[in-house]
Amino acid sequence: MAQPPQKLSLLRSLPIGIFIGTLLNFSNTYFGLQTGWVTMASLQSALLAFGIAKVAKWKMSVEENVFIQTVAVAVGTMPLAAGFVGKRTSSAQEGEYPLCEIEAYIL
């Protein structure tokens, strides 16, 4: 028999998800501008959330972990969604595209 869902504490889950997502955002921007690739980091964000819960010594439900993971991935993949990274931006460093074309692509 399936267990009933646990309560979701948004007051602690949302800030943690945004914090983890911000870390992923910085790493994705750095990595993406050099290679043109970003990582979704779903597993990393779930593990970081679990680690934070263990250090803080509070019981985290599966629903909270999934919520934190979802928020972190949404915030962390912003460089790709906003067009800051991609094939064209990484190729600009190699001189393949002129800078004005890269700026038009981003806008």
Q: What is the pLDDT of residues 12-59, one digit of tens each?
A: 899 999 999 999 999 988 888 888 788 888 999 999 999 999 999 988
Give percent of the chain with pLDDT exceeding 70.
Answer: 76
pTM of the model: 0.76
Q: What is the pLDDT of residue 25?
A: 93
Q: Which is more confident, 94 or 43?
A: 43
Expressed in percent and rounded to 5, the helix, strand and coil fractions of the chain are: 70, 0, 30
- For the chain, what are the domain ranges? 11-30+40-76, 83-107
pLDDT band at 102 (very low <50, low <70, confident <90, very high): low
